[in-house]
Amino acid sequence: MSGQRYETAFVRELYESCWRNQKQFSSLLEYLEPFVAARHIPALIELATVYMLMDKQEDSVKLIQDIEDRLDGNDTDAHVDLFIALRSGLGAGSQEERNERALRYMKKLANFGNVPVQEMLMMDYLHGTNGVPNSIQCFLHWAKVAAENGSILAKEELAQFRGTSGSTSSSK
């Protein structure tokens, strides 16, 4: 890898080139090779995606499972990458099972103090989206956590929620 930097934009260009040339993935695989050898999570996920596109489902699933098994608990970027991969259909199990695993990674990120993820959890719980059940209790939890960490969106959502729920509770 000797100083070579992983470039997501370049990987996207290679994907486009692969599709224009009847799915010839050799240039993309060649680029990914040193990053895969170094166990670079985004490259491993890209390789899993390529395997899916090449109808190598089993290889793709094994790669994502390997990433899940080896995930460093403090690597927030890897959690984000894995979360996105699972949500986009990579990995073992049904989409519901992948969503459940993605939610676990999302909660870890939120607990690391990742405000955008706290906001995402807050909104998913409020609206019951992205495979997350609708739960006002969980919405309030993540909204309070995000607000404490400076989220303007969370503060606005809490104010709106309190305004809406306050009018119903005051009429009791």
Q: Check whether residue 120 and residue 40 sit in a common domain.
A: no
* Calpha distance 17→28 (Å, rounded): 9
pLDDT tens digits, one per residue of 61-98: 999 999 998 887 777 788 888 888 998 889 999 988 99
Number of separate domains in the chain: 2
Give the pLDDT of residue 144: 97
Amino acid at 31: Y
Asked if residue 1 is part of any domain, the answer here is no
Q: Mark the ranges of the chain whose per-residue pLDDT is less than 50.
A: 168-172
Asked if residue 4 is part of any domain, the answer here is no
Give the pLDDT of residue 118: 95
State the residue for tokens 């607000």. Answer: 147
Give the pLDDT of residue 170: 40
Q: What is the pTM of this model?
A: 0.73
Last residue of a domain, one of 102, 122, 142: 102
Asked if residue 31 is part of any domain, the answer here is yes
Q: Is residue 94 within 8 Å of 83, Cβ to Cβ?
A: no
Q: Check whether residue 50 and residue 125 sit in a common domain.
A: no
Q: Check whether residue 82 and residue 56 sit in a common domain.
A: yes
Amino acid at 138: C
Give the pLDDT of residue 80: 84
Query: What CATH number did the domain enclosing 76 receive?
Result: 1.25.40
Asked if residue 88 is part of any domain, the answer here is yes
